Amino acid sequence: MQPASKRYRVNDSKQSGLCVMVHPTGAKSFSVRYVTADGKNSDKALGMFPSVSVEQARRMAAEIRSNVVANRIDPVEQARAVRSEGKQKRERTLAVLIEAYLTHIEREGRKAPTTLAKERHHLRQNVVPLMGKVPVQTIRRRDLRELLHQVAEAAARQPTGRGGRTAANDCLKYLKLVFDFAVDDLEWIETNPATGLRKLEVTQPRGREATSEELKALWTLWDERMKDGRAPDWAGSAALQFLALTLQRGEEVASATWGEMDLEAKRWQLPASRKKERQEAIIPLSEPALDILSEAQRRFPVAKGPFPGRGTETIKRDSLTQLFSRDCEALGIAGLTMHDLRRTGRTAITDPERLGFPPHIGEAVLSHAVGTTLTRAYDRNNYLTEKRRALEAWGVEVLSLTRRATSEPAGA
C-alpha cells in the first residue's frame, strides 16, 4: 500500500469492519467500522502500525464489534463519556465545592449570620488559597492533615500573633461539613476524607483581656482617626468603639441597621435571626454608645446602618477584623483579637475589685443564656435594668481611661 496525495482506506479481507488508513505521509493506522444500536455507522481508531500489529488489530476489531452487538456498547461514546467525566472531575475543585456548600447553607437559613460569617472567612481566606484548585476526588486525609498545619502556620503569622492552631481546628470543623455535603447532597465522592482526622493540639489559652494601657491606646487611635472626618475611617473606628461599649459580636455590630436601634428608649434590639443563640436580644445603650449613634445619624443620613462600608450598605465584618488587626500591629499589641474586647468588658463587669456585678449579669450582657435549661424554662427575666447599669458603668470606665469622663462608675 503506497501513499497517495489524499488519505485512503483499505478494508481487511479477513476481519469484517477492519480497515487500514493509508496517510499521505506513508503512515498507516487501523480503525474498525461498526453499526451502533440506533443504526448509525461509526468508526473507532485502534492505533498506528506497526505499534499495533495486523493480528492485534483484527482481535481488537472482533471484540469491539462483538460488544456492540451483544452488549450494545458504543466504544466511541464510551470514550467520550470517560473524557467528559474526567473533565468534570477536574472541574470539581475544592473551591467550587466550598462555594456550592456556602450557597446551600445560606439558602437553608438555619445558621446565624455570625456563624455563617465565620465559616465563610475560614473557608475562603484560609482553605481556598492553599487548596482551592485541587480536585475533590483526589483529596486524601493526609492532604487535609498537611493543610491544617499550613493554616496553623499562616494564621500564627497574622498581626494578632496567636490562634494558629485554633484557626486550623475551625477549618477542620467546617471542612467536615463541606465534605459531608459533597457525599450526601452532591454525590461527588463516596466517603468524607476529613472523617477521623484529629484536631491539632492547642496549648495556648483561647484568648485574653486587653490591659488598661492597650484599651487606652486603641481608643485614642480610634478617636484620632474619627476626627479626620473621612467616612470609611470614621465608620470603622466608630464601629470598634461601639463594639467595645456594647460587648456584642463583630458581625452583629458590623451589620447593625437603624431599624434595630431605638434611640429614645436607649435600646438596640437584635432579632433572633442575627443572633448566634437564635434568640432575640435587647442591648441597653449607654450614653457614649448613644453619642456614637447620634453622630452616625448626622454623618450618614441615608445609610442602612450606623456603620456603612461601600455606599449605603453596612460594613463587612472581615473589614472590621482586618482594621482591628492593623491597629494592634501599629500599636505593637500582640495576641489581642476583636473578640477579646467582649472578654475584657465581661471580666471588668464582674470583677469584685472593679465594677462588681454578679456573674449572671455579665453573661446576660453578652447575650449568653443564663442558668440551666431548667431554670431558663421558669425564669424569663431579661435582666434589662441590671444590664443597663452594668453597661453604663462599663462605658464610664472605658472613657475614664482616656480622661473623657469625670464621674465615677456606678456600683452594682
The predicted structure's pLDDT at residue 113: 80
What domains can you pick out in the chain, each with its CATH number? Answer: 8-80 (3.30.160.390), 94-186 (1.10.150), 212-401 (1.10.443.10)
Q: What is the spatial distance between Cα 324 and Cα 124, in angstroms, rounded to a whole number?
A: 20
50: cis peptide before it, omega within 30°?
yes
Specify the higher pLDDT residue, 311 or 18. 18
* Continuous segment of H or E residues that includes residue 43: strand 41-49
The grid cell for 217 is: 491606646
Q: What is the spatial distance between Cα 182 and Cα 14, in angstroms, rounded to a whole number?
A: 51
Specify the higher pLDDT residue, 375 or 104. 104
What is the average pLDDT across 273-302? 91
- Split at pLDDT 50, 70, 90, the class of 108 is confident
For the segment 144-165, what is each residue's pLDDT rounded down to a tens digit?
Answer: 999 999 998 887 766 544 568 8
CB 221 within 8 Å of CB 330: yes
For the segment 380-396, what is each residue's pLDDT rounded down to a tens digit?
Answer: 457 899 999 999 999 99
For the segment 301-343, what is each residue's pLDDT rounded down to a tens digit?
Answer: 999 999 998 888 999 988 899 999 999 999 999 989 999 999 9
CB 340 within 8 Å of CB 325: no
Residues in the chain: 412
Summary mean pLDDT of the chain = 86
The predicted structure's pLDDT at residue 176: 96
Spacing of C-alpha 250 from chain mean position: 15
- Split at pLDDT 50, 70, 90, the class of 101 is very high
Q: What is the reported pTM?
A: 0.57
CB atoms within 10 A of CB 5: 6
175 CB burial (10 A radius; 0-12, 13-18, 19+): buried
For the segment 74-93, what is each residue's pLDDT rounded down to a tens digit?
Answer: 877 777 766 666 566 667 89
Q: What is the spatial distance between Cα 294 and Cα 96, in angstroms, rounded to a whole number?
A: 43
CB 313 within 8 Å of CB 304: yes
